[in-house]
Amino acid sequence: MLRLHGYAASINVRKVLWACAEIGLAYELIERGGGGPPIDEPSFQSLTPFGMVPVIEDGDVVIAESNAILRYLATKHGCDSLWPTEPGARARIDMWMDWQASDFNNSWRYAFLATVRKRPGYDDEAAIQMSMRTFNQMVSVVERALQGTGGFVAGPCFTLADIPIGLSIHRWRSIPLAHEHRPHVDAYYERLSAMPGFNRFGVRGGP
């Protein structure tokens, strides 16, 4: 059985949990970080060069980094609807996944840690507001994409790209600061919320 190291409140671990739900994979969640056994234990550090969760063990295969794990699972289990083999379609999905891991992910960090996690040291009001403005700008990028596709972020059908993007939209909605009106994003969120995997690991999975 697939072994997944991490904790369920982590947004990156929830990417993998949601992917497992879409693919229909059984897994064993091994608590690591987030109040469980610490990630700095040598037994865990030996699994990943990055020292962070999530990490999967699939037999002899060990993979770190959430988006790499999603691609691996979709490829291994032949889920062409989630990650097509056609180069153009696959590249469009990769484009959104890579953007989420860089620009989108970094935009919300300060505001989220300050207002939701209430992390000590994140109390600069100007930095909070700047982070939220940037986050709103990133959501506008998703809004324009959805207006063009009429369905999901990389096209008319659900793909791997919607897992990181959907969870980031859920995080955007969780921040108790001013949100600009985004009708296509709101409709997208409702479509995702009808999916059992997102309902469990997004809507009810934490901010």
Please list the pLDDT of the chain residue by residue as tens digits (207 residues): 999 999 999 999 999 999 999 999 999 999 999 888 999 999 999 999 999 999 999 999 999 999 999 999 999 999 999 999 999 999 999 999 999 999 999 999 999 999 999 999 999 999 999 999 999 999 999 999 999 998 999 999 999 999 999 999 999 999 999 888 999 999 999 999 999 999 999 999 999
pTM of the predicted structure, to 2 decimals: 0.96
Q: What's the CA gap between 140 and 72, in Å, rounded?
A: 30
What's the CA angle centered on 167, arms 106 and 71, to 5 degrees? 90
Strand-strand pairing, 27-31 and 61-64: unpaired
Q: What's the CA gap between 33 and 198, in Å, rounded?
A: 22
Q: What's the CA gap between 34 and 193, in Å, rounded?
A: 25
Place of tokens 């970080």: 33
Instruction: Give the closest residue to 17 by CA, choosing from 99, 73, 92.
Output: 73
